[in-house]
A and B are shown apart, each in its own frame.
Chain A
Amino acid sequence: KQEVTQIPAALSVPEGENLVLNCSFTDSAIYNLQWFRQDPGKGLTSLLLIQSSQREQTSGRLNASLDKSSGRSTLYIAASQPGDSATYLCAVTESSGSRLTFGEGTQLTVNP
């Protein structure tokens, strides 16, 4: 059974700092990996999707990398802003392309 772990569980940084969120998964036979953002009381917003054949994806200040063989992904946020404060969730789609398994999330607070 696929298990997804995110470290750290919570992170507090001053505005302007660059930061890295970590995600690991136990079964490397994945179809793709997706990073989401969730604001309190809200739904999930997709940030980046990385296919299993890709190494990284970038969108604005966000960069996600994938090392499938080692079962790891990182989400890099450059020049963090208070508006980046949210919970970030990592999720992997298993190799059959069906089930999406989530990590527990990292709660990020960016202080002005």
Chain B
Amino acid sequence: DAGVIQSPRHEVTEMGQEVTLRCKPISGHDYLFWYRQTMMRGLELLIYFNNNVPIDDSGMPEDRFSAKMPNASFSTLKIQPSEPRDSAVYFCASRLTVGNGYTFGSGTRLTVV
């Protein structure tokens, strides 16, 4: 298996633009998680899905952020409009089921100027 695949690896955008981050989880994994990593706050859970259904989105910072999982093999995290404080590394992770470990993607480094 190729692991968790994220795209793009790097994204530079101007403030106010829409940004879409993509994730392909490991095939067969029931859970998908979106995390954000910054120097100030470390790794924070934004949202997670179980069988394509959003379960906990309490970590989503504000209404500018939205996430979808239209099928078991694809998820997006969208920021609209983007702001400089959204600059961070965004990680996607998947997990087979409760009790199994997490596998993380390589991340998307987002810079909003």
Residues of A within 8 A of B (CB): 31-32, 34, 36, 41-46, 49, 51, 89, 91, 97-105
Contact B43 A102 (CB under 8 A): yes
Contact A46 B45 (CB under 8 A): no
Nearest A residue to B6, CB-CB: A43
Assembled-state Cα–Cα distance A81/B107 (Å): 26
Measured between C-beta atoms, what is the minimum distance from B49 to chain A in Å?
11
Apart from A36-B104, A101-B45, what are 7 other A-B pairs with CB-CB below 8 Å? A43-B106, A45-B104, A46-B102, A51-B99, A98-B48, A100-B93, A103-B42
Measured between C-beta atoms, what is the minimum distance from B53 to chain A in Å?
13
Return chain A residues, CB-CB under 8 Å to B45.
99-101
Measured between C-beta atoms, what is the minimum distance from A105 to chain B in Å?
7
Contact A32 B91 (CB under 8 A): no
Residue in A31, A41, A104 whose CB lies within 8 Å of B42: A104
Measured between C-beta atoms, what is the minimum distance from A9 to chain B in Å?
12
A100 and B102 in contact (CB under 8 A), knowing A43-B91, A43-B107, A89-B43? yes
Contact A34 B98 (CB under 8 A): no
Return chain B residues, CB-CB under 8 Å to A42.
106-107
Return chain B residues, CB-CB under 8 Å to A104.
42
Contact A49 B101 (CB under 8 A): yes
Return chain A residues, CB-CB under 8 Å to B98.
31, 97-98
